[in-house]
A and B are shown apart, each in its own frame.
Chain A
Amino acid sequence: DIQMTQSPSTLSASVGDRVTITCRASQSVSSWLAWYQQKPGKAPNLLIYRASSLESGVPSRFSGSGSGTEFTLTINSLQPDDFATYYCQQYNSYPWTFGQGTKVEIK
């Protein structure tokens, strides 16, 4: 299985900050990577697919980049609604696997 490792595990930030989350794959996943946002008690919500494509309806302050084994999710001008846990997921190789999550907390 491809292991997905996110860093940091927890991130403290303030409203208006620019936030970057990293996801590393144990082997190349090309650009087959998605990002999700999850709030407590809710299902994950798709933000980004194919490493950098913004899902319809997702605010443009979210962006993704990377390919191969290293990827980033950037949130420009963090908003109160963005405090949540973020997961990456590779879909290059079966079985599809997720990172362990990055919790974005209020500083």
Chain B
Amino acid sequence: QVQLQESGPGLVKPSETLSLTCTVSGGSINNYYWNWIRQPPGKGLEWIGYIYYSGNTNYNPSLKSRVTISVDTSKNQFSLKLSSVTAADTAVYYCARFPRTSYGDPIYYFDYWGQGALVTVSS
């Protein structure tokens, strides 16, 4: 059973960079696409971006200028950096996986999720 676990600081100051890591256990990070999704308190879900184990990325245009997602296959981890944060970036941040077809192509819904990490942006 694949499990995902987010980790990182729960408090970030405005204008600084938010950094989170997702550790994948119970399976390999290889050959899958891995995502970050966020949910502001009491609000809906927003897809942030994904990374393939090879390092290919794709980001939501609404956040693209501030987002970097990276992968470390040796540690079975991938990471999120969001720069120049404001209070509007306060949210629970989830990591999640796209499933894939038998040919290895991604299917763009989310079958496994981490438990989420609350990040508050405040001075």
Residues of A within 8 A of B (CB): 32, 34, 36, 42-46, 49, 55, 87, 89, 91, 94-101
Contact = CB atoms under 8 A, between A and B. Distances in A.
6 contacts: A34-B110, A36-B110, A44-B94, A45-B113, A55-B111, A95-B47
Interface in B77-123: 94, 96, 107-111, 113-116
A99 B44 CA distance: 7
Interface residues of B, number: 19
A101 B46 CA distance: 12
Interface of B: 44-47, 58, 60-62, 94, 96, 107-111, 113-116
Contacts of A101: 44
A98 B115 contact: no
A79 B25 CA distance: 32
Given A44-B110, A89-B109, A95 B94 contact: no
Given A32-B108, A91-B107, A98 B45 contact: yes
B60 A95 contact: yes
Contacts of B44: 87, 98-101
A91 B110 CA distance: 10
Contacts of B58: 94
